[in-house]
Structure 1
């Protein structure tokens, strides 16, 4: 569920937080106001502040000058990454309920990723999170499933941070099943798999099954049934 949108000046602040090399002229008051708009802040003792985003909290030291220390900016960046934010994010999601050791089903194409946390013993007890890529020019929005990642004969620009956010959303799932649409290197499932292999080795090691189907013709119930079947098959 979306709890806050990021737009206008806030997008510029987000970009500066993620900028490399780390910014050394990011104003503290500006950061506090930004975090309050997309999450919450709490002033504590000894010039310390708690920042909370999507259920994740970290404590930061208020600088003596007006600008944040670059090391604190790096810690803020990690907090935002834990909250599934990237330089391209346009929204922040509410914290999902604690899923413990629940397995995950990822249903992914270039338009969006639906992430279900499944308790295999409780049908109907799943939760869903939806992530979407940053697509400022609307290329991906107008793609049909048959094109599956091509725009006028060319691959649509990829927001690779989109796939990193998918990985972050299943970081504690003991087993992961992935369902995608289309085949070949242009498919979103292939891009996700490659991203996991290159940058999220531990998560890739927990992928136990993948399947390719026509997502445009599949209902939520069919997708969940397929995911449960894939995960149950691995458990045997």
Structure 2
């Protein structure tokens, strides 16, 4: 990588390789990043050739000026194929996520690999999944009462958060047509097969009384423990 890469682009590159994918990735930032670590050349009216190391791929300028969720995922694969290679520890470290979803909202939690964040100064109980402090996303549904959210954007926002995950546990309330978690499962199968294949468990629970330790207990029953 270019040793003089801008700090913000360096952070973006690291996030694309190993962390949570950015929710809103602009085309301008993408081109700036590839231009600093590789090469960008126009190819036709709206297509560009990205070259990083020995890897070469074609990306189209998006109509909205932001990359769609599938293109962000493809960009991550392109950058990972280009390197630098991850260390053995990083390569085997799973990114684990839990979604707690009902008619009103979706809460997405990410495992922090058992490490307490550097900024966390308060002494708290051991929390390997980070559930006590690290709600990475809460998406409110635009519906009231017991109606399942039907708006595709609701489930698409959840899907964006799940892009980095290779182990996913879904927790919902109820089953069938009235279940938001069942709707999410179907949405992922139909629109994001690469994400849906990482769903390792689906559980039902009384979400009104579900506590962070109970969420963690459900996750531990299904997820690989990293020492």
Which category of TM-score, normalised to the shorter sequence, fits these structures?
Answer: 0.5 to 0.7
Maintained 8 Å contact 2:27/2:67? no
- 1:192-226 Cα offsets, whole Å, 9 max, x none, are 00001100001000000110011011112211221
| 1:133 Cα offset (Å) | 4.1
Q: CA separation in 2, counterparts of 1:161 and 1:197? A: 16
- 1:80-99 Cα offsets, whole Å, 9 max, x none, are 8989xxxxxxxxxxxxxxxx
1:23-172, aligned counterparts within 5 Å?
56-59=25-28, 72=61, 74=63, 76-78=65-67, 101-119=94-112, 121=114, 123-125=126-128, 126=130, 127-133=134-140, 135=142, 140-141=143-144, 143=145, 147=146, 149=147, 158-172=150-164
TM-score (ref. length: structure 1): 0.51
Maintained 8 Å contact 2:137/2:161? no
Q: 1:189 aligns with which of 165, 170, 181?
A: 181
Q: CA separation in 2, counterparts of 1:205 and 1:226? A: 19
* Secondary structure of 1:115's aligned partner: strand
Change (3 A) 1:134 1:178: closer
Q: CA separation in 2, counterparts of 1:124 and 1:157? A: 31
Change (3 A) 1:82 1:115: farther
Structure 1 runs not aligned, ≥5 long: 1-39, 41-52, 62-68, 84-99, 150-155
Maintained 8 Å contact 1:56/1:82? no
The runs of at least 4 consecutive aligned structure 1 residues that moved more than 6 Å come to 80-83
Q: CA separation in 2, counterparts of 1:121 and 1:157? A: 33
Aligned residues: 144
TM-score (ref. length: structure 2): 0.53
| 1:232 Cα offset (Å) | 3.9
Q: CA separation in 1, counterparts of 2:97 and 2:168? A: 5
| 1:132 Cα offset (Å) | 2.1
Maintained 8 Å contact 1:120/1:232? no
Change (3 A) 1:195 1:80: closer
Q: CA separation in 2, counterparts of 1:179 and 1:191? A: 12
| 1:130 Cα offset (Å) | 2.7
Please give the root-mean-square deviation of Cα atoms over the aligned residues, in Å: 3.3
Structure 2 runs not aligned, ≥5 long: 1-7, 9-21, 32-45, 47-59, 73-92, 116-125
Maintained 8 Å contact 1:106/1:113? yes
Q: CA separation in 2, counterparts of 1:55 and 1:198? A: 22
- 1:13-41 Cα offsets, whole Å, 9 max, x none, are xxxxxxxxxxxxxxxxxxxxxxxxxxx9x
Change (3 A) 1:177 1:187: same
